[in-house]
Structure 1
Amino acid sequence: QRQVAHRVALLPQSPRAPEAVTVAGLVRYGRHPHQGLLRQWSREDERAVRDALAATGTTELAGERLDRLSGGQRQRCWLAMVLAQHTPVVLLDEPTSALDLGHVVDVLELVRKVAASGRTVIMVLHDLASAARYADTLIAMKDGRVVAQGPPKEIVDEALVKELYDLEADILRAPGDACPVVVPRAHG
């Protein structure tokens, strides 16, 4: 498990933290795979925590209790913990679930920065609009099978929406970057 934790960081859909943990305490958990009998907390660990807090905009929250933060703040703190783990691969399961639109954008912009830094990010999203906006490569699945894969601009169309959701929709192109925008059609 320790070897895997050096290569892959995972943020599950509904993570659980110990009661009354502070933000800094949570982010420090990301460094546990790097600890051992012969390797205790180091300056490198402290730097990784500090950098992860800064990258997620949560430095000012470091002393706050996680359970007293908003959903968007908590999600950025969980992402900081994953970033502190310093793995080349990051797995995120629904990192935007239960967040309002503003926080969704904040989290997905942060994920884009993580990917731009050279890490591989694999993310599960049920929101096709967000996936189309933020993914480099989209893998659309239904009933455990891949139904389409490729750049969102190439694969997101009316037929894909129909296959995935049994929903009629129009696909518009966003001004500026032509990102696909899914607009469900009204029934009747």
Structure 2
Amino acid sequence: MTSIQQFFQNSVYFGVVLSLSTYGIGMLLKRKFKLALFNPLLISIFLTIAFLVVFRIDYKTYNEGARYISYLLTPSTVCLAVPLYEQFDLLKKNCRAVIIGIVSGVISSLTGIFLLALLFKMDHSAYVTLLPKSITTAIGIGVVQELKGYVPVTVTVIVITGVFGNIAAETV
């Protein structure tokens, strides 16, 4: 084991520092190039994987420190309610459009997942793993745990859906 690997192995917050650093690089690239493809989360994922591969650091070592970030998922999701509340009058004014958008989004998402489940003959666990693909990670984890799905796959699907939606939304 090299000295770099030993340093990372013994560093409690290595995962947090790596995650935040690569996300910061993603933010800088996004600001500089102003392209939807330079999504900070997507850049962070690629840079983190590259770093772990180049320095031959296993995921378990990285995750020992990075897991502290997941503690912040639920509070950060709750914090999203504040700007939403500040726009409450605008939401009330456009209540019909908001409700139609939410209902149509839920129906299309559930229908798409249901059709994929039928097409690929998924069992119950695989099916419920994909159901929360369009909600926040913090809530999705709780839903999938309750429904007895595969949490790591759900997190991956939620992140992919969010990044793709972010990239597509800027283009649209």
Higher share in strand:
1
Length-normalised TM-score, structure 1: 0.26
Length-normalised TM-score, structure 2: 0.28
